[in-house]
Amino acid sequence: MSATTTSAPKANADDSNGDITDAVIRFAGNSQDGIQTIGGFLAKLAGRSAREVMTYMTIPSTISGGASIFQVHLASGEVLSSGDEADFLFAFYQHSYDAHLSSLRDGGICIYDSDHVTPDPEDKRVRHVGVPITSTTVEALGGTAKDRGKNILVLGLVTALFQLDRAKLVSLIEGQFKRKGEDVLRNAMVAFDAGYAYQIGDLHGESFNLQAGAAGDTDHVTTDGNTALALGLVAGGVRFGAAYPITPWTTIMEHLRSELPKHGGLFVQTEDELAAVTMALGMSYAGHLSMTGSSGPGISLKMEALGYGTMAELPLIVVNVQRGGPSTGLPTSVEQSDLMQAIYGSHGDAPRVVLAPINVEDCFHVAIEACKLAKKCSAPVFILTDQALATRIEAFPEPDLEQVVIAPKLDTETRDETFVPYPLEGETRHAPPGTKMAGGKYPVVTGLEHDAWGHPNGSPEMHQKMMDRRRQKISKLADDYPVSEVFGDDSGDVLLVGWGSTWGPIREATIRAQGEGLSYSSMSIRHLNPLPNDLGDIFAKFKHVVVIEMNDEGLYGFGQLATLLRARYANPSIVSVTKTDGLTFKIKEILQRVDALVC
Amino acid sequence: MDSASTTAEPEKLTKKALTADHPTWCPGCGDFAVLASFYKTLEKLQIPQEKIVTIAGIGCSSRFPYFVNSHGLHFIHGRALPLASGVSLSRPDLHVFAFGGDGDGYSIGGNHLDHAARKNVNLTYVIMDNFVYGLTKKQTSPTSPLGFKTKTDPTGAIDQPVNPMKKLVYGGATFVARTHATQVKHMMAMFERAIKHEGFSVVEVLSECVIFFPGAFDEGNPRKGGEFTLIEEKKWDGTPEDEDRHDVSDNSAAFALANEEWPGRFGVYYETDRPTKNKLEQRWIDDMQSKVGDASTADLLKQRFSAMK
C-alpha cells in the first residue's frame, strides 16, 4: 500500500494570469512588524468573501522582538489545515529568508524585502522576487514613521497580487485603525495604496486571481479558538469565574473579564492558580455555573481542588489550553499531552468529564456542551483545547444564537423536609447558601467521604457506595451522546482516529488517501471521558485503527488516547502515531507515518 | 446588615437553632469558647439563618462548619479564603465567615491571606491561633515561638514566627483585632465589630491547645496569673488622656502595638474604611450593564460576532 503522495491541490503559481482556488501564504519577519495584522486582515476578508481560511502563527514568548511568522491558507473550498508547504513566502529579513525558504514548495514564489535580504543566487528551486519593502514604506509615509507601516504596504501588495476585494479590505482597515486616530488611519491608507500600486518587477503583468467560494449569502465570522471558546461559555450560561494568566490560556480570561460584567457576571484575576480554581469552586457553591482555566503548569496546581469538586459534587468548567510540557516546557508550542492528566489528574479516584473541540467553530459549541454536562452531573468538566487551536483564525458561519443561548438560574427556592444533597440513587441536589431549609437542618459541603446528607462518614460501605455513585453519574452521560461520525466508509483497511485540533489534518490526509483509491476513513473523538459507547463496534470494522496524537509514545509505545482505547477495547488493531516536536501534523507526515505502520 | 424585609414570618435566630454536631475537639480546647461566642453574637445580631455561610480549610479549628447549623463548607488545606471570596463576590446577599487555625491561615494559606486582605473582600475571618499543629499531633506551626519543642523541631523551633498582627495590617486588612478565648465578652465584642465592618475583617483569637501546647496563653489570662491588657481606643474628646490612646486608623500605631512584648495587648489594632472589592466590581458591572441597556445575552453575542465579520 502506498500513501506517500505529498502534493495537495496547489496554486498555479507557474501560470501567470491564472485563476487559483487555493493559496498558502507565509509572512516571516519579527514580532514587532505587525505580521499578525496582515494575516488577521486576510482572514477577515476571507470570511467576508465566502472563502475558507485557516491561519497558523508563531509568536516568540518575549515581550517584543524575536522571529515571528503568520501563515494564511486561503481557499474557495474547504480548508482543513494551515498547509504543509507555502505557495508564497514574504521574507522581511535575512533571517526570515534563511529560516523559511525551505517552507516554500518547489516552484513557489519568494517575495523578499530587497532592502534587507540577499537571496541565494544558486537557488533555482523557487522563484525569487525582490521588492524594496522598507524603503518604499519610508518613501510613502515620510516623516518619523520610519518603517512602521510596512505590514500594511505588504497587505496592499497582496491585495493587488491576488486580486482581492479592495473595497472590503479598505473598510476593514478603516474599522481597525479609526479607533487609533485619524493620523494613524491616514498613514495606514497611504501605505496600503503604495503597496497596491507597486508594480512588482519580475511579476509584472502576472496575477493570481483567488476565486471567491460558492455563493455564501452571509459573511462568516473569523476568529480564533480562544475567542470562540470564551463566547461559547457566555452562551452556555457561565457568569462567574476566576483564573491566573498563563500562555496560551490568557486571552480567554481577558475576554471573560470584559464580557461577563455586561451580563451581570464577574471574572476575577486571582493571586495564583490555587486561588483561581478555589474561587471558582466558591462561585459554584454559591449557586452559579462558574469556570476556571489555565495551561499545563497551572492545571497541575489546580488538581487538589478539582478532586474536591468531584467529591463535593460541584459543577465547574475547567479549560486547559494545552502547550508543550513537561514543566515550563514549550510555552508557545502545541502538544496534546495533558489527556491523562485531565482524566486521572487528581489523587484518589476522582472521575470527571473531558471534552475536546476539533476546530475553532467547535470551541464555541463544546463550551456550551460543557455547561450542560457540568449542570447535569454536578462535577468538574474539562475542555481540552490547545495552543494551535487557541491562536489560529478560522472562518465559520455565525451560530444560531437564539437557539443555543442558555440563561443561567440561581436556585435558592426553599428546600423541603425530604431534601438530601447526595441521594444514593438519584441526582445531586445542591442547595446553595441563601436557600431556606424547611426541615431546619442546613447542609455542610465537604471533601471528607460523607453520607447522602453530606455528613462525614468514612465507613467501608459508605465509601464504596459513594464511589459507585460518583462514577456511575459520569459513565451514564455517554448514553445521551450523539452517534459517533465516521468520515468515509464505515468499514475498511484503515481508520484514522484523532482528538482535538488534529481533526483538520487527519481529515485532509483521509481525503488525499481516498483520492488515491485507498481504503481510509477517519474520526475525531470529542468526548474523551466518558468515551462514546459505540466506538468498539466502529473499530471492529477496520483492519487497522491508527490513533494520531501530539504526545509522546510513552514507555510502552502508545500515545495517551491510544493507551486508553487499547485498555478500553483490548483491540490489538489499535496502533499509535505520536509526535512531540511542538508543531501541528502535516498531511504528508500523517500519510507517511500511517503507511509505515500498516503496510 | 441586610434588612430582612421579605414577607416571611420573622423566625428568631437562637443558639439552639444554630447548634449542629457536637464538636470533635478535645475537652478543654479553647475553640469551644470561640464557637459559643460565635453563636451568641449571631443571636444578638439576628442574621437570617439561611444567609449565614461558614467556610473552613483543614485543621482542628477548621472543623467549625460542622458545628454551626448554617450553610457551610469544609474545604481543602489553606484555601478557605479564596473560596469564601468567591462566595462573597458572587453573592452579595450573604454573610460570609471563614474559620481556621494558624497553619491554615499563616502557613499553607499565607499568600491567600495577603491577597484577600489587599483586595478587601467583604467577609469575616476568625483565626484560632494555638501556636502548634494539633490535628497532626504536635509539629511546629508558623506562630510557634522560638525554642518550642515539637516532633519536627525536637531541639526547639528555630524559625522566626509570624507576627499575625503585623502580617494582617501590612497585608491591607481593613479590620484587625486580637482577643483571647478565655475572655468571652471581649471575644463577642470583637466578633460583633468585625461582622459590622464592611470589608475584610479578621479576628485573631489566642485559643489554647490543651494537649500539645498547654499554658501557651496563660500570660494573657488573669485567672492563670497573667494580664489581659486592653487597647484603649481614642475617644476624640480633646482631653489630655486621649493623646496617649490608640488611633485605630493609624497603621504605624498598629505596628507599634504589634511590636509590644508578649503577651501584648488585646482589642482593635487597626480599622479603616476602604472600598471593598465587592463594591468596586459591582460599580463596574453596573456601569457595563447600563451601557448595554436591555440587550439580551443573544443580542450581546450577536454584536460580538458581527464585529468579527
3-state SS of B183-236 is CHHHHHHHHHHHHHCCCEEEEEEECCCCCCCCCCCHHHCHHHCCCCCECCECCC
Q: Mark whether A330 and A204 lie in a shared domain.
A: no
Is the sign of the CA dihedral B213, B218, B223, B224 positive or negative? Answer: positive
At A55, which CATH number?
3.40.920.10
Does the pLDDT at position B145 exceed 50? yes
What is the count of structural domains for chain A? 4
Interface test with B, best of A444, A448, A451, A453 (most B CBs within 10 A): A444
Taking the alpha carbons at both ends of chain B, their separation in whole angstroms is 49
Judged by CB atoms closer than 8 Å, whether chains meet at B86 and A281 is answered as yes
Delimit the CATH 3.40.50.970 region(s) of chain B.
Answer: 15-274
Residue A64 burial (10 A CB sphere; 0-12, 13-18, 19+): exposed
**CA distances to A351, A468, A507 from A461, in Å:** 19, 11, 49
Judged by CB atoms closer than 8 Å, whether chains meet at A271 and B112 is answered as yes
Q: Mark whether A385 and A444 lie in a shared domain.
A: no
The secondary structure of residue A31, as a DSSP letter, is G
Does the pLDDT at position A3 exceed 70? no
Q: Mark whether A190 and A288 lie in a shared domain.
A: no
CA angle in degrees (0–180, nearest 5) for A171-A64-A112: 65
Does the pLDDT at position A213 exceed 90? no
Q: Mark whether A212 and A226 lie in a shared domain.
A: no
Please give the Cα distance from A496 to A488 (Å, whole number).
Answer: 11
Per-residue pLDDT of B256-286, as tens digits, reads 999 999 999 999 999 999 999 999 999 999 9
The pLDDT of A225-235, averaged and rounded, is 98
Q: Mark whether A73 and A104 lie in a shared domain.
A: yes
* Closest CA of chain A from B94, distance in Å: 7
The pLDDT of A287-295, averaged and rounded, is 98
Is residue A379 within 8 A of residue A346, CB to CB? The reply is no
Single out the residue in A404, A420, A439 at which a domain terminates: A404
pLDDT on residue B234: 97
3-class secondary structure, A113: strand
The pLDDT of A29-50, averaged and rounded, is 83
B244-248 contacts, C-beta under 8 A, 24 or more apart: B248/B272
pLDDT on residue A13: 41
**Residue A436 within a domain:** yes
pLDDT on residue A59: 55
Amino acid identity for residue A63 in this structure: I
The secondary structure of residue B242, as a DSSP letter, is G
Nearest CA in chain A to B90: A283
Does the pLDDT at position B154 exceed 70? yes
**Residue A25 within a domain:** yes
Q: Mark whether A360 and A421 lie in a shared domain.
A: no
pLDDT on residue A36: 83
Please give the Cα distance from A270 to A196 (Å, whole number).
Answer: 47
- The pLDDT-based confidence of A6 (bands split at 50, 70, 90) is very low
The pLDDT of A60-73, averaged and rounded, is 70
Please give the Cα distance from B139 to B131 (Å, whole number).
Answer: 10
**Which residue from A221, A282, A287 is facing B85, i.e. has the nearest CB?**
A282
- How many beta carbons lie within 10 A of that of residue A416, not counting itself? 9
**Residue A333 within a domain:** yes
Judged by CB atoms closer than 8 Å, whether chains meet at A279 and B85 is answered as yes
**Residue A8 within a domain:** no
Q: Which cell goes with B63? A: 472543623
Full DSSP string of B96-154: EEEEEEHIIIIIITHHHHHHHHHHT-SEEEEEEE-SEETTTTSEE-TTPPTT---SS-T
At A261, which CATH number?
3.40.50.970
Judged by CB atoms closer than 8 Å, whether chains meet at B66 and A401 is answered as no
Nearest Cα to A266, choosing from B14, B80, B91, B245? B91
Q: Mark whether A202 and A276 lie in a shared domain.
A: no
Does the pLDDT at position B7 exceed 70? no
* Closest CA of chain B from A50, distance in Å: 11
Residues of B whose CB is below 8 A from A368:
none
Judged by CB atoms closer than 8 Å, whether chains meet at A283 and B89 is answered as yes
Judged by CB atoms closer than 8 Å, whether chains meet at A431 and B308 is answered as no
pLDDT on residue A73: 87
Exposed e or buried b per residue across A540-576, where buried means at least 16 C-beta atoms within 10 angstroms of its C-beta: eebebbbbbbbbbbeeeebbbbbbbbbeebeeebbbb
* Closest CA of chain A from B6, distance in Å: 13
Number of CB pairs, chain A paired with chain B, less than 8 A apart: 180
Please give the Cα distance from A180 to A190 (Å, whole number).
Answer: 16
Q: Which cell goes with A198? A: 507597486
Q: Mark whether A54 and A115 lie in a shared domain.
A: yes
Residue A52 burial (10 A CB sphere; 0-12, 13-18, 19+): buried
Strand B200-206 versus strand B123-129 pairing type: parallel
Please give the Cα distance from A386 to A247 (Å, whole number).
Answer: 11
* Closest CA of chain B from A485, distance in Å: 28
CA angle in degrees (0–180, nearest 5) for A303-A354-A561: 100
Is residue B174 within 8 A of residue B273, CB to CB? The reply is yes
Single out the residue in A354, A383, A404 at which a domain terminates: A404
Does the pLDDT at position A528 exceed 50? yes
Per-residue pLDDT of A394-446, as tens digits, reads 889 999 999 999 999 999 999 999 999 999 988 888 999 999 999 999 999 99
**CA distances to A406, A431, B170 from A221, in Å:** 21, 40, 49
The pLDDT of A188-202, averaged and rounded, is 88
Per-residue pLDDT of B235-258, as tens digits, reads 999 999 999 999 999 999 999 999
Residues of B whose CB is below 8 A from A448:
74
Nearest CA in chain B to A444: B72
**Residue A7 within a domain:** no
ipTM for the complex? 0.96
Is residue A510 within 8 A of residue A504, CB to CB? The reply is no
CATH topology of domain B15-274: Rossmann fold (3.40.50)
Residue A423 burial (10 A CB sphere; 0-12, 13-18, 19+): middle
Q: How far is CA B209 from the centre of its chain?
A: 19
pLDDT on residue A553: 97
Judged by CB atoms closer than 8 Å, whether chains meet at B309 and A231 is answered as no
Q: Which cell goes with A289? A: 455555573
Residues 6+ apart with CB under 8 A from B110: B142, B162, B167
Residue A120 burial (10 A CB sphere; 0-12, 13-18, 19+): middle
- The pLDDT-based confidence of B196 (bands split at 50, 70, 90) is very high
* Closest CA of chain A from B285, distance in Å: 5
Does the pLDDT at position A230 exceed 70? yes
Interface test with B, best of A263, A442, A448, A457 (most B CBs within 10 A): A442
pLDDT on residue A10: 42
Nearest Cα to A296, choosing from A323, A274, A278, A276? A323
Q: Mark whether A92 and A189 lie in a shared domain.
A: yes
**Which residue from A271, A436, A437 is facing B111, i.e. has the nearest CB?**
A271
Interface test with A, best of B47, B71, B279 (most A CBs within 10 A): B71
**Which residue from A222, A262, A266 is facing B90, i.e. has the nearest CB?**
A266
Q: Mark whether A168 and A39 lie in a shared domain.
A: yes
Residues of B whose CB is below 8 A from A312:
73
Exposed e or buried b per residue across A481-496, where buried means at least 16 C-beta atoms within 10 angstroms of its C-beta: eeebebbbeeebebbb
pLDDT on residue A14: 42
Entry pTM: 0.93
Q: Mark whether A76 and A209 lie in a shared domain.
A: yes
Per-residue pLDDT of A139-162, as tens digits, reads 898 866 667 889 999 999 999 888
Residues of A whose CB is below 8 A from B309:
44, 47-48, 219-222, 398
Nearest Cα to B174, choosing from B206, B204, B205, B197? B197
Please give the Cα distance from A117 to A95 (Å, whole number).
Answer: 8
Domain range for A549: 492-598
Is residue A358 within 8 A of residue A500, CB to CB? The reply is yes
**Which residue from B84, B284, B301 is facing A282, i.e. has the nearest CB?**
B84
Please give the Cα distance from B275 to B273 (Å, whole number).
Answer: 7
Residues of A whose CB is below 8 A from B17:
440
Q: What value does the mean pLDDT of chain A take?
A: 91
Does the pLDDT at position A41 exceed 60? yes
Single out the residue in A404, A424, A446 at which a domain terminates: A404
Q: Mark whether A262 and A384 lie in a shared domain.
A: yes
Is residue A42 within 8 A of residue A97, CB to CB? The reply is no
Judged by CB atoms closer than 8 Å, whether chains meet at A447 and B76 is answered as yes
- The pLDDT-based confidence of A58 (bands split at 50, 70, 90) is low
**Residue A4 within a domain:** no
